[in-house]
Structure 1
Amino acid sequence: MLALALLSILQGAAISGQAAGLTWALVRIWHRRPMSALLLPALAFLVAFTVRQLIEVAKQRMATSYADGAVRQLRPQVQEKVFRLGPAALTQRGTGSAVTMLIDGLDEVKTYIQTVLPKMMDMTFIPLITLVLIWSQSPLSGIILLCMLPLLFFFLAILGLAARDRSNKQYAQFRKLNTRFVDTILGLPTLKMLGISEEYESEIESTSDRFRKRTMSVIRVALTSTFALDFFTTLAIAMMAVFLGNRLIDGTADLFPSLLALILAPDYFLPIRQFGDDYHATLDGKNALTDMQDLLSQPEPKQDDRLDWDGWGEDSQLTVRGLNFTYPTKPQADAVVPAGKAASSSKNPAASKEGEQEASEPIEPALTDLGFTLKGYSKVAVIGRSGAGKSTLVQLLAGFNAPSSGSIELDGRSMGHFNAPSWQRHIAYIPQDPYIFSGSIADNIRFYAQEADDSAIAQAATQAGLDDWLGVLPEGLGTQIGEGHRGISGGQAQRISLARVLLDSTREILLFDEPTAHLDIETEYDLKQTLLPIMEGHLVIFATHRLHWLADADQVIMLDQGRIAAQGAPKDLIGQGGPLDQLIERMGGNQIAGYLD
């Protein structure tokens, strides 16, 4: 910053020298001096002009270097913050918004820093240096320019505030457009399956049109600001020219100081005009930087490092009493929070469209007064209608969110929440849509266990039921999948996520968040045959709305509007005329009782 300030001061001196050299040459031409008398003024002008341009290049390089360093520091901070906040906070913020912030947003911040910093230094020092020189040569001109400056800044501030307000709205609309577009693309197979893809096409078109209108509103204000700056600059210079011309005609002023003041006047206003133009051009970067600062200041889920726990065993017990959770109500420009459901996957906009509430509105508790006990190696089915809170509960158990209140006891040890390293080291979370990275199948399987060798990966792939598929692939585990490579089905993606889990034998607790929600019944049946052996010797918590899983569950927790409506062994609940029977009847699964016989 100090170096930029010094360069701006030197550039102000060079501008003054350039104007003085040009004035000197013009005055000598006016007095019809010989060409030899013009060499020294011309040389002074060329030297000052060259120094001015070299300083401008040096400032740009320095500002670019500073901006690169700032972005290099900011990028890992933002990325690490996103990982620490977890998937629930990311979903609330909006997938598209987060992607845009991490990719385009950082580039816009770089442009903002490398553009605005030099212009601010120029606006601070160059007008001051040129004004001193003008005042020394023509006090009247100095008074005119000095009086015009507050008026110029006044209009610059008024129009800048208007532009900032419209730009904030435009950026909010941009975030919403990004989120809607990315989520729709990721959920396109589901939308096609449900036959509602055309509805979302019209929604994207409508959001794009609103973004276009807001962009045009910002451009109108920017053009008005540019016109105002140019108008008052031209007015001030014209007033100077009239006054100086009259004084020259009257013989009360000399040519050299009058011409020098007139030549310096545009350079006096130039930094202010450039700052005004660049301010509007870099508002997206300023908004992106503000967005990142808000993200970095967002409270993180508290970690409970006090828990000393060796892992889940056959005699382990987890007891939860009075557990409550409410989603944050902080307004988000583009986030939509599903009522009564945990951060349902943003990859499926069709699933979250119904029952959405704007994040700025009050939100009802997602989970209320939950109490249950889990023991040893068992399979626990968490069931309920859509929006009942199944995903919310599973994500609380994974430590993605912290409960608002309640008590948690693990093997006789008290926990405030599930975001404890000693707990999370022993859990594996399998979502609805496991992410497939661009790379080989082997790389995708070993993603969380980079030290795993080829034989361990092959064994995990076999246990996950991938052998038949791998057998028809020419390159086997070396086959490239993910973005830009071979496409895979939902069932294959789920099996890869299972193989990831199987590589780490220390994960005794498996959390499934409706992993078969988007699979057809035949694929789900095949996957189920793979899952059931894997579930043995683990505590399995399986959120699902597919009733056939009840036949394999040791315990059922039924949720209804965030509360436990029924819990216990399936055979003790089915056929008793209770809430579970009512749910089974509504979902057309009356035959489930036969599976339990």
Structure 2
Amino acid sequence: MKPVERRLLRELPALRSHMTCSAALALLGAGLVVVQVSLLATVLADGFAGHGFRTATLAALGAVMASRALLSWTRGVLAERAAADLKRGLRDRITARLRQTGPVHMATRRHGETATLLTRGLDALDPYVVGYLPTMAATAVVPLTVVGWLWWTDWTSALVVVVTLPLIPVFGALVGMHTARRTAHQWRLLARLGGHFLDVVAGLPTLRAFGRERHQTRVVGEMADAHRRATMRTLRVAFLSSFVLETVATFSVALVAVPVGLRLLGGGTDLRTALVVLFLAPEAYLPLRAMGAAFHNSAEGIAVAERVFAILDDEPPKPGRGTCGGRADGARRGQAGGTRRSPVRDTTRRGPVGGIRRDPVSGARHGPVNGALQDRVASTRHGPVSDTRRDPVSDMPDARTAHLCLDRVTVRYPDRAVPALRNVSLSVRPGEHIALVGPSGAGKSTLLALLLGFVAPASGRVTLGGTDLVTSDAVPPDPCPPDHCPPDLARPDACPPDRCPRDRCPRDQVRPDLDAWPDLDAWRAQVAWVPQRPHLFAASVADNIRLGRPDASDAEVRRAACAASADLFVEALPQGYDTLLGEHGTGLSAGQRQRIALARAFLMDAPVLLLDEPTAHLDPESEAAVTRATVDLMRGRTSIVVAHRTSLLPHADRIITVRAGGLVLPRPEPELVPAPAPEPAPAPGKGKVAS
């Protein structure tokens, strides 16, 4: 058994139970085979001897045959259920792992290969669970049972079986090692084909614009042909293996049958014993022959399992810890003690992000109008909808009153030598509006990803009211070291020793109770995120707006769309809010998709707002509409906006330039794109540059 197979059995209790049940059923089946052969030999021997057929013997033989058929059906049903449970469990673990590693780490993978693994790949485990594991259990039980009965019936024939039986696994192993390499290569070609095909479909407009669609058609055809050739080579080896095993088994049975026939002719044994030996000897070789065929059918599934565990073992960058209010052993907490919860909850128990229910009094619909989104975003088997994101655990401070602080944070990506963020410190007051400006690639989007928990800092801390958001660790109020720099200064080395900014990053809300471990989801429940290119699912418009609050009523959805200036174009759609969108919001313009994302944020009504260039790539009219909705959304909320254009800058309390992974003050750089449309006059006291 390969290491990956042992790990499957070790980590999946349902698979171990299936293996145990298969062994028990195989043992029962072996006993029925022995009884059936004995009864059949008795019936034939009596018939040849002229004693006639006994009714009781025939009835018992029929009952045994019916029992074997029922046993075979039961084995198949249990195997199919075990395969379904295994695939569902692995899909849940993979999706949970991908959620835990975050979208930034996920972006390093080819999405097509991951999609192939979660669909066609996991389906390749069916032959392994349904065919190979039951056959392996039978191989461990049936030959021993048959040989034991043969030894009691005719020890010389049993001795021949014992000598020839090991030949089948030996020849099977020799061919199987070659097959395993070919099957692994075949799976790699299939994964590459799936990934490349998804990339081609996604980029088809670009390919057509540059006249490269015919070339990619040839490339996809060549990759498909390479996979076909690899599959045929694997099948050729599999057929050769089956031929070898069948030949060895046939010669082995002949070595048993010929001496038995000679002894029967010479009077050395009776007819019933000879028939029992001739009927039972092939049953001893049958599981081994079936195991050879099942092994080849399951080889692709084993290769898939290796890829699954490679994803489950893939570790994202580990978060580091700062020194202000931290501990030297903070990064190791929970590994030694075993009491710390993971910062990412297993959301497979939360219930679907969707579902329809009606208010028994008003009759209003709550949840999605259709089930498309809930089928694509979350599992639908865990009961009714509950708005878990709006009910954070009590250990998380309230973002409406707590300061959000970055304490000397450095973020590194595994494939880059230069940090994406370097020694960044920042303090954000409740209700403050901050605009981040700077050239592309400076680290602005990385800063938002850090606040969302998509990436972990290599060093430093991100806290809300003193609670560490990265490690979900409630930090006690230790004094700041004398060399700590005010959070909004760009150069910590220029900070005077006497300027410890306890008043700038207050720690009076720190919870010193170390037994309270808040969940990262509780922080995200207080954050509304509007990315530069929001993702819309292939579902209704109402479903997409409800993403942050799946239990919102139709009236709440409409009010959110109206606040985001999206109600007019939504109501003009063929079916209004029930209109089904295509993949990635196909059918809507960029500005309309942006306003749907703003409607999500309005509906979520979170105290913290993160916006990543919400007006980028928009025409003047769309930008003006999105800007008005964004300004309305920012009121009364702590807002951090990444801006490449000046339309939102007059509404910011502080404007901070990000350059080369650090914060540069006091004034924005000229990389901004002028706003194409006039903006309303700034509110009093707004728009001043941080100092």
> What is the TM-score when the length of structure 2 is the normalising length?
0.67
Report the equivalent of 1:378.
433
For 1:124 and 1:50, how far apart are their aligned partners in 2?
Answer: 24
The within-5 A match list for 1:195-594 is 197-198=213-214, 200-296=216-312, 303=343, 308-311=396-399, 316=403, 318-327=405-414, 340=416, 364-365=417-418, 367=420, 369-373=422-426, 375-376=428-429, 377-385=432-440, 389-408=443-462, 416=470, 420-421=520-521, 423-482=523-582, 487-512=587-612, 523=622, 527-528=626-627, 530-535=629-634, 537-543=636-642, 555-560=655-660, 563-564=661-662, 567-568=664-665, 571=668, 573-574=669-670
Amino acid at match of 1:262: L
CA 1:365–1:229 in structure 2 vs 1: closer, same or farther (change >3 Å)? farther
Q: CA deviation at 1:214?
A: 3.5
For 2:395 and 2:437, how far apart are their aligned partners in 1?
Answer: 26
For 2:74 and 2:521, how far apart are their aligned partners in 1?
Answer: 49
For 2:433 and 2:208, how far apart are their aligned partners in 1?
Answer: 37
For 1:413 and 1:70, how far apart are their aligned partners in 2?
Answer: 38
For the aligned residue pairs, the C-alpha RMSD in angstroms reads: 4.0
CA 1:483–1:412 in structure 2 vs 1: closer, same or farther (change >3 Å)? closer
Give identity over the alignment, percent.
28
For the 8 Å contact 1:241–1:262, the answer to whether it is kept is: yes
Residues 254-280 of structure 1: CA distance to partner in whole angstroms, max 9, x if unpaired?
443233222222221111222221222
Q: CA deviation at 1:491?
A: 2.9
SS of equivalent to 1:503: helix
CA 1:372–1:213 in structure 2 vs 1: closer, same or farther (change >3 Å)? farther
**Unpaired stretches in structure 2, ≥5 consecutive residues:** 1-16, 319-341, 345-392, 473-518, 680-686
For 1:164 and 1:99, how far apart are their aligned partners in 2?
Answer: 23
SS of equivalent to 1:487: coil
Corresponding residue pairs, total: 540
Report the equivalent of 2:74.
58
For 1:177 and 1:516, how far apart are their aligned partners in 2?
Answer: 37
For the 8 Å contact 2:538–2:581, the answer to whether it is kept is: yes
For the 8 Å contact 1:166–1:218, the answer to whether it is kept is: yes
Report the equivalent of 1:12.
30
Q: CA deviation at 1:525?
A: 6.0
- Structure 1, 126-135 or 239-248: larger mean CA deviation: 239-248
SS of equivalent to 2:568: helix
SS of equivalent to 2:165: helix
For 2:251 and 2:22, how far apart are their aligned partners in 1?
Answer: 31
SS of equivalent to 1:323: strand
SS of equivalent to 1:267: helix
For the 8 Å contact 1:110–1:285, the answer to whether it is kept is: yes
For the 8 Å contact 1:319–1:410, the answer to whether it is kept is: no
- Structure 1, 101-110 or 447-456: larger mean CA deviation: 101-110
Report the equivalent of 2:99.
83
Q: CA deviation at 1:145?
A: 1.6
Residues 137-178 of structure 1: CA distance to partner in whole angstroms, max 9, x if unpaired?
333322222112222222323333333333333333333333
For 1:260 and 1:172, how far apart are their aligned partners in 2?
Answer: 48
For the 8 Å contact 2:31–2:145, the answer to whether it is kept is: yes
For the 8 Å contact 2:139–2:291, the answer to whether it is kept is: yes
Amino acid at match of 2:399: G
CA 1:438–1:110 in structure 2 vs 1: closer, same or farther (change >3 Å)? same
Q: CA deviation at 1:412?
A: 6.3
Q: CA deviation at 1:399?
A: 0.4
Higher helix share: 1
For the 8 Å contact 1:398–1:511, the answer to whether it is kept is: no
Amino acid at match of 1:11: G
Residues 210-261 of structure 1: CA distance to partner in whole angstroms, max 9, x if unpaired?
4334433432332232222112111211222333334444544444323322
For 2:219 and 2:91, how far apart are their aligned partners in 1?
Answer: 32
Q: CA deviation at 1:38?
A: 7.0
- Structure 1, 83-92 or 289-298: larger mean CA deviation: 289-298
Q: CA deviation at 1:539?
A: 4.7
For the 8 Å contact 1:381–1:549, the answer to whether it is kept is: no
For 1:206 and 1:523, how far apart are their aligned partners in 2?
Answer: 44
Residues 284-329 of structure 1: CA distance to partner in whole angstroms, max 9, x if unpaired?
334444444554555577639998532156x9463442513233xx
For the 8 Å contact 1:428–1:510, the answer to whether it is kept is: yes
For 2:75 and 2:585, how far apart are their aligned partners in 1?
Answer: 44
Q: CA deviation at 1:461?
A: 0.9
Q: CA deviation at 1:45?
A: 4.0
Q: CA deviation at 1:195?
A: 5.8
For 2:527 and 2:25, how far apart are their aligned partners in 1?
Answer: 57
Residues 37-84 of structure 1: CA distance to partner in whole angstroms, max 9, x if unpaired?
476665554343222222211222233344445555555444444433
Residues 373-425 of structure 1: CA distance to partner in whole angstroms, max 9, x if unpaired?
3545334335434x665544432221012112234455666665688455433
The within-5 A match list for 1:13-28 is 13-28=31-46
**Unpaired stretches in structure 1, ≥5 consecutive residues:** 328-338, 341-363, 575-579
Q: CA deviation at 1:469?
A: 0.8
Amino acid at match of 2:111: T
CA 1:548–1:170 in structure 2 vs 1: closer, same or farther (change >3 Å)? farther
> What is the TM-score when the length of structure 1 is the normalising length?
0.76
For the 8 Å contact 2:151–2:157, the answer to whether it is kept is: yes
CA 1:504–1:465 in structure 2 vs 1: closer, same or farther (change >3 Å)? same
Q: CA deviation at 1:535?
A: 4.1
For the 8 Å contact 1:425–1:507, the answer to whether it is kept is: no
CA 1:196–1:425 in structure 2 vs 1: closer, same or farther (change >3 Å)? farther
Question: Are residue 159 (structure 1) and residue 214 (structure 2) matched?
Answer: no
CA 1:30–1:125 in structure 2 vs 1: closer, same or farther (change >3 Å)? same
Larger RCO of the pair (alpha carbons < 8 Å, separation 6+): 1
For 1:209 and 1:518, how far apart are their aligned partners in 2?
Answer: 40
For the 8 Å contact 1:25–1:42, the answer to whether it is kept is: yes
The within-5 A match list for 1:103-252 is 103-110=119-126, 112-189=128-205, 191-192=207-208, 197-198=213-214, 200-252=216-268
CA 1:48–1:293 in structure 2 vs 1: closer, same or farther (change >3 Å)? same
For the 8 Å contact 1:96–1:183, the answer to whether it is kept is: yes
For the 8 Å contact 1:438–1:485, the answer to whether it is kept is: yes
CA 1:390–1:129 in structure 2 vs 1: closer, same or farther (change >3 Å)? same
